[in-house]
Amino acid sequence: MSAAGLFYVGAVLVINGLLLLGTVSARAAAPLNLFVGALQVVGPTILLTQATTTAEVADAAPLYLFGFTYLWVGINAITDWDQRGLGWFSLFVAASAVGMAAYTALVPGDWPFTVIWLYWAVLWFLFFCVLGVQRMELTRYTGWFAIVTGIVTAAVPGALLVVGHWPDLPVVAVVLAVLGVATLLGLWPVTVHQREHPPTPPTTPPTTP
């Protein structure tokens, strides 16, 4: 993923997190999803046409997972299609992200991005839970985790990569891992709906990643 592309993925994940929290409407989030989705489809297509090694193909091909996701979010927001198809596709993305984490650790040995791929695996699994199997009590939890993930795995690394100051060090992977676990554990008690105080359901289903 290019540095600029990663930066804008951070933006769309933050917007989609706000969408899940009810701060941004589906239609308001649609343009950015369509823009970033198109970027994440056109970009890897160009890279694949120029690829000459297996490593270059492996770097470009997974980007379609995210490009298709964001285009699907944007299209669903406009058409009001059933979200469950997107939810089940998110499960496929989550499983693929786990595979990419293993590849990133074993082949290029990039530990920070190994952890980043695991963040994405968890996030897309949460999207599957909310959209695919309608676990609506996880909506706010997923929204906040999407915002954190957008900032720490995409916006900040993308910006640092653009200016050539991304610290590709094992300690960065450790910090990211600790922050991810702390976020997942810390958000649970304050965002997951309690049985005795069920929330008012949203008037429209969430339409993210």
pLDDT of amino acid 3: 84
| Spatial separation of the C-alpha atoms in residues 143 and 199, rounded to whole Å | 15
| Spatial separation of the C-alpha atoms in residues 166 and 177, rounded to whole Å | 17
Tell me what the pLDDT averaged over the chain comes to: 91
pLDDT in tens, 76-103: 999 989 999 999 999 999 999 999 999 9
Q: Is the pLDDT of residue 205 over 60?
A: no
CATH number at residue 61: 1.25.40.600
| Spatial separation of the C-alpha atoms in residues 120 and 107, rounded to whole Å | 19
Residue 209 lies in a domain: no
Residue 203 lies in a domain: no
pLDDT of amino acid 41: 95
Distances (CA, A) of 120 to 41, 49, 81, 88, 204: 18, 26, 24, 15, 25
pLDDT in tens, 160-187: 999 999 998 999 999 999 999 999 999 9
Q: Is the pLDDT of residue 195 over 50?
A: no
Range of the domain at 91: 3-191
Domain count across the chain: 1
Residue 201 lies in a domain: no
Binned at pLDDT 50, 70 and 90, residue 8 comes out as: very high
Residue 206 lies in a domain: no
Residue 146 lies in a domain: yes
| Spatial separation of the C-alpha atoms in residues 44 and 62, rounded to whole Å | 8
pLDDT of amino acid 198: 42
Residue 200 lies in a domain: no
The whole-model pTM stands at 0.90
Phi, psi of 7 (to 5 degrees): -60, -45
Residue 103 lies in a domain: yes
Binned at pLDDT 50, 70 and 90, residue 203 comes out as: very low
pLDDT of amino acid 1: 62
Three-class SS state of 133:
coil
Binned at pLDDT 50, 70 and 90, residue 150 comes out as: very high
| 65-74 mean pLDDT | 96
Of 11, 6, 13, 9, the closest CA to residue 126 belongs to 13
Residue 21 lies in a domain: yes
